[in-house]
């Protein structure tokens, strides 16, 4: 079977993993023993979206946050439901991200119908910005910049920067300069880096393009220390400088036999872990002696 691009959430001695049919499990990292599990589709009466539940779990404090279209917070120790959002905004492809606004903790959740801002404490919806895309595929994790949130979708939908500082959300600008079909945008020193239907781009916070580069496939990326990390259609790991001056590739390593572009590389203690669509995993050491 071909794996979906889920990421695991690891905290302390436990790992939390979700599956496309809505299962969520907590396992011990030491021996893989099952601590608890929930079947979201059956227990929570969820409708399976077109491409399955693809959002990754997020651990915040004592809770595991899950985007199932309707957002759920589970007790991380027991799996019991702490709260669920009142509204179901459809689909479940984007992983939520937490942020602080006016001294309070919120969640930015990119659902099938648009961007929802929920209170982390109880799931109450503070704001909602409609954003419809073909097949409801809003898959990227929102990028939070203080009181602003950057969202982007593929299929020609485009991107926008939303301001949350007022009593109602306000769209600062909307453009088709970047269309992220999957989770693929990061911020570094006043610029956004992400994919526009397979082309890597750098844009500024006004939505103006600084450069673009076709790098051989790509959709998911991350950033560490001013370095962009991403895969390719040929099983490579690519490292490039995050700079508005232009695309500067620092390293390109053959990691696996199949495409690595759908998966976000993970950096741990100088080692970069990357997956491919055939289920393979590789670890590359990029530490400088």
Other CB atoms within 10 A of residue 193 CB: 26
147 within domain boundaries: no
Note the pLDDT tens digit of each residue in 32-65. Answer: 999 999 987 777 778 888 888 889 999 999 999 9
User: What is the span of the domain harbouring residue 44?
Assistant: 1-138
Whether residue 131 sits in one domain with residue 3? yes
Note the pLDDT tens digit of each residue in 76-118. Answer: 999 999 999 999 999 889 999 999 999 999 999 999 999 999 9
Whether residue 9 sits in one domain with residue 81? yes
Per-residue three-class SS string for 101-161: ECCEEEEEEECCCEEEEEECCCCCEEEEEECCCHHHCCCCCCEEECCEEEEEECCCCEEEE
Using pLDDT thresholds of 50, 70 and 90, give the confidence band for residue 289.
Answer: low
89 within domain boundaries: yes
> pLDDT value at position 288?
59
Using pLDDT thresholds of 50, 70 and 90, give the confidence band for residue 2.
Answer: very low
> pLDDT value at position 60?
97
Q: What CATH code is carried by the domain that includes residue 28? A: 2.40.128.630
> pLDDT value at position 1?
41
Whether residue 29 sits in one domain with residue 127? yes
Whether residue 198 sits in one domain with residue 112? no
Q: Do residues 180 and 194 make contact, with C-beta atoms less than 8 angstroms apart? A: yes
Using pLDDT thresholds of 50, 70 and 90, give the confidence band for residue 6.
Answer: low
């Amino acid at each position: 079977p071909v794996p979906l691009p889920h990421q695991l959430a690891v905290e302390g001695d436990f790992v939390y993993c979700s599956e496309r049919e809505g299962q969520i499990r907590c396992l011990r990292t030491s021996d893989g023993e099952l601590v608890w599990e929930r079947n979201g589709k059956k227990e929570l009466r969820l409708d399976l979206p077109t491409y399955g539940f693809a959002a990754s779990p997020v651990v915040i404090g004592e809770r595991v946050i899950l985007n199932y279209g309707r957002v759920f917070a589970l007790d991380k120790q027991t799996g019991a439901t702490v709260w669920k959002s009142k509204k179901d905004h459809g689909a479940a492809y984007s992983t939520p991200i937490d942020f602080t606004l006016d001294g309070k903790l919120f969640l930015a959740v990119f659902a099938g119908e648009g961007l929802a801002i929920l209170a982390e404490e109880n799931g109450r919806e503070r704001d909602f910005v409609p954003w419809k895309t073909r097949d409801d595929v809003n898959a990227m994790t929102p990028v939070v910049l203080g009181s602003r949130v950057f969202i982007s979708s593929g299929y020609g939908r485009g991107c926008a920067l939303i301001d949350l500082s007022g009593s109602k959300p306000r769209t600062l600008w909307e453009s088709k300069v970047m269309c992220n079909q999957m989770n693929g945008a990061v911020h570094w020193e006043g610029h956004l880096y992400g994919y526009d239907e397979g082309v890597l781009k750098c844009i500024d916070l006004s939505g103006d393009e600084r450069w673009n580069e076709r790098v051989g496939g790509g959709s998911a990326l991350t950033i560490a220390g001013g370095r962009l990390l991403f895969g390719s259609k040929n099983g490579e790991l690519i490292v490039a400088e995050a700079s508005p001056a232009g695309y500067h590739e620092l390293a390109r390593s053959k990691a696996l036999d199949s495409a690595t572009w759908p998966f976000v590389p993970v950096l741990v203690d100088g080692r970069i872990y990357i997956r491919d669509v055939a289920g393979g995993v590789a670890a590359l050491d990029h530490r400088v002696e």
